[in-house]
Amino acid sequence: MTASCIVEQVSRLERFFVRRDVHGLEDADGYQHTSRDKLSRTQLNAHLRGGIRLGAHTVAIDDTVRWACIDVDKDTLPAGISGKAAGRNVVRRLKAENFSCLVERSKSRGYHVWVFFNRPVHAWKVRLCLQTLTKDAGLPKLEVFP
């Protein structure tokens, strides 16, 4: 990966980190904790290279979000529904409501469905909306962040 590619990806990744004063950090032993140290570009670069694992706090200080994530894990699915089918169902419901979303494979071999907003939206509204959407899709146990 070239340096210019890393810088471009870092600037995009910074959109996920709406707060720079707090973030999740995993230490060498796999222990995850909240760090109150200021998030740096060096850490973001290390995260992109796979050197460290960071976690973004979704909610800004003013209780708004610019993105949300629905976690599709096999242990939260009704019997007989695969993760792939559940992910497709969630995406179909989101698109029917005119949400913009992306899907990625998660570390646990499930899926993350990312939802993006053009402007900050109150976190409680996003959470309520997405929880209602997942229930309507027949997937009431999916985790919704925020």
Per-residue pLDDT of 61-102, as tens digits, reads: 999 998 999 999 988 898 888 999 999 999 999 999 999 899
Side-chain-side CA neighbours of 66 within 13 Å: the count stands at: 14
- Where are the chain's structural domains? 3-55, 64-145
Any idea which fold 64-145 has? Answer: Alpha-Beta Plaits (3.30.70)
State pLDDT tens for residues 26-56: 888 888 899 998 888 888 888 878 888 888 8
Q: What's the average model confidence in pLDDT over 1-23?
A: 61
Evaluate if residue 135 carries a pLDDT over 90.
yes
Burial 2-29 (b: 16+ CB within 10 A, else e): eeeebeeebeebeebbbeeebbebeeee
The confidence score (pLDDT) of residue 125 equals 96
* Average model confidence (pLDDT) across the chain: 85
* 13, 67 Cβ separation under 8 angstroms: no
Return the axis-axis angle of helices 41-48 and 3-13, rounded to nearest 10°: 110
Both tokens of residue 81?
A: 């529904």
- The top-scoring range by mean pLDDT among 12-16, 39-43, 102-106, 111-115 is 111-115
